[in-house]
Structure 1
Amino acid sequence: MRKTHDQKTSQKGLEESMKWEREKGARDRSLEIARALKKKGLPPGQIAEVTSISPSELEGL
Structure 2
Amino acid sequence: MNQELCKCDGGLVILNFQSNESICPICNLPKRLTSERTKNMLKFGNELNQKRTKKERKK
Asked if TM exceeds 0.5, the reply is no
Q: Which has the larger radius of gyration?
A: 1
TM-score (norm 1): 0.43
Higher relative contact order (CA closer than 8 Å, sequence separation 6+): 1
Q: Report which of the two has the higher share of helix.
A: 1
Using the size of structure 2 for normalisation, the TM-score is 0.45
Q: Which structure has greater strand proportion?
A: 2
